[in-house]
C-alpha cells in the first residue's frame, strides 16, 4: 500500500487536461458505441497501415466505469507526484511529463499491435499504457524510497517493486488466463515509462545500478 506523502496532490493543468479529455470521451463512448469501436486499438488494421490514429485514441475509451476510474486514479495520484519530481530535477518538468504520457501511450499500444498484428479479432482499449508508464516512472524517480508494502515481504524499495511488477506481467503473459486484458500493452507501457524517464534524467542510472 502507499504510505503518506509530504507533498500535496495538487494537479497541474496538464494532468487535469489528460483526465478531463479521457473521461469526457470515455463516458461519451459508453453511450455511443460507434465512437467506442472506431477508437479501439485494432492491431490487424494497423498492420495494414490503417487506423494508425488508434495508437492514441485507444487510450481515450474504456470498457467500464471501473476501468476508467482506476486508470484516471493512477494518472491523478502518481502523475502529480511524478510531475512534481520532474520539476524538482530540472526545467520543463511539466512538458516532460506530458511527453512521457503521450510517448508511452503510443509505444505501449504499438508494442501490443506488433504482437497481435495477425489476430483480426483482437482489440484493446484504455489508458493503462500511459498510466502504468507513470507507475514505472514513479518507481524510478523514487527508486531508493519505500512507499509500497507487499504481503509477506513488508516494505520494499520502489525499484524492487517495479521489477517484481514487470516479472508479474511476464508471468501473466506466459501462464495467466487468456482473457481480454492486454498485458502486452501493460508491459510495454511500464518499460517505456522507465526508459523515457532515464533518458530525461540519466543520473538515475546510478541509483538503479546501486540497488
149 occurs within a structural domain: yes
- Give mean pLDDT, residues 29-41: 95
Range of the domain at 137: 13-210
- Which of 62-76, 77-91, 178-192 reaches the highest mean pLDDT? 62-76
In degrees, rounded to 5, the angle at the alpha carbon of residue 89 between the alpha carbons of residues 15 and 12 is 15
Average pLDDT over residues 134-156: 85
Domains: count for the chain? 1
Establish if 80 belongs to a structural domain.
Answer: yes
Domain annotation covers residue 2:
no
For residue 3, being part of any structural domain is answered with: no
Decide if 124 is inside a domain: yes
Q: For 68, how many CA atoms within 13 A lie in the half-sphere containing its CB?
A: 19
Strand partners, 41: 124
Q: What is the pLDDT of residues 84-106, one digit of tens each?
A: 999 888 878 899 999 999 999 99
In a domain, 5, yes or no: no
Phi, psi (deg, nearest 5) at residue 128: -60, -35
Q: What is the pLDDT of residue 66?
A: 96
Q: Report the CATH number that the domain containing residue 107 is assigned in CATH.
A: 1.20.1540.10
Q: What is the DSSP letter of 127?
A: S
Q: Which pairs from 87-93 meet CB under 8 Å and 24+ separation? A: 89/141, 89/201, 90/201
> Would you say 173 and 25 are in contact if contact means Cβ atoms under 8 Å apart?
no
486508470: which residue's cell? Answer: 71
Q: Which helix (H) or strand (E) holds 195?
A: helix 183-200
- pLDDT, tens digit, for every residue of 108-143? 999 999 999 999 989 999 999 999 999 999 999 998
In a domain, 49, yes or no: yes
- Residue 163 inside a domain? The answer is yes
Residue 207 in this model has a pLDDT that exceeds 80: no
Contacts for 62-66: CB closer than 8 Å, 24+ residues apart: 62/26, 62/29, 62/125, 62/126, 62/127, 63/125, 63/126, 63/180, 65/30
Amino acid at each position: 500500500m502507499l504510505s503518506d506523502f509530504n507533498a500535496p496532490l495538487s494537479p497541474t493543468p496538464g494532468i487535469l487536461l489528460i483526465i478531463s479529455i479521457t473521461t469526457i470521451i470515455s463516458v461519451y463512448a459508453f453511450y455511443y458505441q460507434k465512437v467506442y469501436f472506431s477508437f479501439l486499438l485494432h492491431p490487424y488494421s494497423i498492420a495494414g497501415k490503417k487506423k494508425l490514429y488508434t495508437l492514441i485514441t485507444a487510450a481515450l475509451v474504456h470498457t467500464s466505469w471501473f476501468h476508467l476510474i482506476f486508470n484516471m486514479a493512477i494518472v491523478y495520484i502518481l502523475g502529480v507526484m511524478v510531475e512534481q519530481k520532474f520539476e524538482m530535477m530540472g526545467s520543463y518538468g511539466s512538458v516532460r511529463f506530458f511527453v512521457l504520457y503521450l510517448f508511452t501511450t503510443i509505444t505501449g499500444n504499438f508494442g501490443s499491435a506488433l504482437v497481435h498484428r495477425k489476430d483480426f479479432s483482437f482489440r484493446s482499449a484504455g489508458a493503462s499504457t500511459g498510466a502504468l508508464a507513470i507507475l514505472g516512472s514513479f518507481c524510478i524517480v523514487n527508486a531508493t524510497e519505500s512507499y509500497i508494502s507487499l504481503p509477506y515481504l513488508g516494505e520494499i524499495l520502489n525499484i524492487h517493486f517495479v521489477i517484481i511488477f514487470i516479472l508479474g506481467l511476464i508471468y501473466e503473459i506466459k501462464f495467466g488466463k487468456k482473457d481480454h486484458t492486454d498485458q502486452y500493452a501493460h508491459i510495454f507501457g511500464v518499460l517505456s515509462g522507465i526508459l523515457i524517464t532515464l533518458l530525461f534524467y540519466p543520473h538515475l542510472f546510478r541509483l538503479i545500478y546501486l540497488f
